[in-house]
């Protein structure tokens, strides 16, 4: 009938699959083949199907809202492409579920306490967490309160049951091997905070690569993933070892900050010092020179976070609750 909303059955018929398959796709289930999922999503788009409220399919009370908590400064969220791409992936993963995404960026200790109270009081159906540090009690509080939670990365000293990450250690090792293959011998690293999993793993990967190459280096500086910290760390490294000929930074922002400092000190990139970053964000492609960088599949990470969280919310078993994705190196003019 003209004007009538398409039904689940209509979507199933249009996609050539069963009603249950459509339901699983809408609910974010992993128990659907890629071909069937694509057919259902295409049918939903072509028929302009709007799913019924997911709450009707669940027996417990629902808010139809999930929170994405970013435990970083607001400047970093708006300035660094890492976060916007991750959010885009999460939104794509939630697109057919009827769930709304609440973005939360607590800044002060008071805001953090208020947020913990709000989230543990069942005001959301689930929580996605990113950029946590080792002393943050939030993931433990959420799990203790029974709030479905998924973490991207993780603080040190805490192993979440559901987590999405990239193999930072292997990525850093690959970046340093690349520098060694280019004939660099005085290689330094600007790594992240050591109360974050990424910071620890990147430093481990740096040492792995040098050990493989039968080289040693104590040229290590620490940053907080921002450009300002990268510039500051580069100054420290140049004072420590003026003959540095390569640096591997644990974020593109830190790498760009390092290149800025090198330029101010009259060092040419890559002629005098080769530079490699991490993320393969838009700033890597737009920097001068364009930055060699480890590509992180950030949008896929966001989708995986959403998939795992939906499974937890609806009580669906997950075969692999810890997802570790493989990054790769994108070589540009900086190295």
**CATH fold for the domain made of 65-164+297-326:** Rossmann fold (3.40.50)
Give the helix, strand, coil percentages of the chain, each rounded to 5: 45, 15, 40
Task: Determine the CATH number of domain 168-295.
Answer: 3.40.50.2300
> Measured between alpha carbons, how far is 141 from 147 in angstroms, rounded to an integer?
9
Contacts (Cβ under 8 Å, ≥6 apart) of 252: 81, 277, 278, 279, 280, 281, 283, 284, 287, 291, 293
Closest CA to 132 of 117, 147, 150, 154: 154
> For residue 92, how many other CB atoms are within 10 A of its CB?
14
Question: pLDDT tens digits for the chain (335 residues)?
Answer: 445 667 888 889 999 998 888 877 776 666 788 888 888 888 887 887 766 544 444 444 578 899 999 877 777 777 777 888 899 999 999 988 888 999 988 888 888 888 888 888 878 999 999 877 777 788 888 887 888 999 987 777 778 889 999 999 999 999 999 999 999 999 999 999 888 888 899 999 999 999 999 997 789 999 999 999 999 999 999 999 999 999 999 999 999 999 999 999 999 999 999 999 999 988 999 999 999 999 999 999 999 999 999 999 888 888 899 999 998 999 999 99
pTM of the predicted structure, to 2 decimals: 0.77
> Where are the chain's structural domains?
8-52, 65-164+297-326, 168-295
The closest of 171, 152, 187, 156 to 308, measured between CA atoms, is 152
Q: Do the two domains 65-164+297-326 and 168-295 of this chain adopt the same fold?
A: yes
Q: Is 104 helix (H, G, I), strand (E, B) or coil?
A: strand
331 contacts: CB under 8 Å, gap ≥ 6: 178, 292
**Tally of CB atoms within 10 A around 219:** 19
Fold of the domain spanning 8-52: 434 Repressor (Amino-terminal Domain) (1.10.260)
């Amino acid at each position: 009938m003209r004007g009538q909303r398409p039904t689940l059955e209509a979507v199933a018929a249009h996609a050539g699959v069963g009603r249950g398959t459509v339901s699983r796709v809408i609910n974010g289930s992993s128990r659907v083949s890629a071909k069937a999922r694509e057919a259902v999503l295409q049918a939903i788009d072509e028929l302009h199907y709007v799913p019924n409220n997911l709450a009707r399919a669940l027996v417990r009370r629902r808010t139809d809202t999930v929170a994405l908590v970013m435990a970083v400064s607001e400047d970093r969220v708006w300035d660094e492409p890492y976060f916007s791409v991750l959010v885009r992936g999460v939104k794509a993963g939630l697109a057919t579920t009827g769930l709304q995404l609440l973005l939360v960026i607590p800044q002060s200790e008071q805001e953090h306490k208020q947020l913990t109270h709000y989230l543990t009081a069942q005001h959301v159906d689930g929580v996605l967490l990113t950029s946590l540090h080792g002393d943050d009690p939030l993931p433990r509080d959420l799990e203790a309160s029974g709030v479905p939670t998924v973490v991207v990365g993780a603080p040190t000293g805490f192993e979440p049951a559901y987590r999405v990450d990239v193999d930072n250690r292997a990525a850093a090792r690959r970046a340093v091997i690349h520098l060694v293959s280019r004939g660099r011998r005085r290689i330094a690293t600007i790594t992240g905070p050591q109360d974050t999993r990424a910071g620890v793993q990147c430093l481990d990967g740096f040492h792995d690569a040098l050990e493989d190459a039968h080289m040693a280096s104590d040229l290590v500086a620490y940053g907080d993933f921002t450009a300002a910290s990268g510039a500051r760390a580069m100054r420290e490294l140049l004072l420590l070892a003026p003959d540095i000929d390569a640096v591997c930074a644990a974020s593109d922002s830190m790498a760009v900050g390092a290149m800025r400092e090198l330029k101010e000190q009259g060092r040419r990139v890559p002629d005098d010092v080769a530079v490699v970053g991490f993320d393969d964000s838009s700033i890597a492609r737009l920097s001068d020179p364009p930055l060699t960088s480890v590509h992180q599949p950030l949008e896929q990470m966001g989708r995986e976070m959403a998939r795992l969280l939906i499974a937890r919310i609806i009580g669906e078993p997950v075969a692999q609750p810890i997802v570790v994705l493989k990054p790769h190196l994108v070589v540009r003019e900086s190295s």
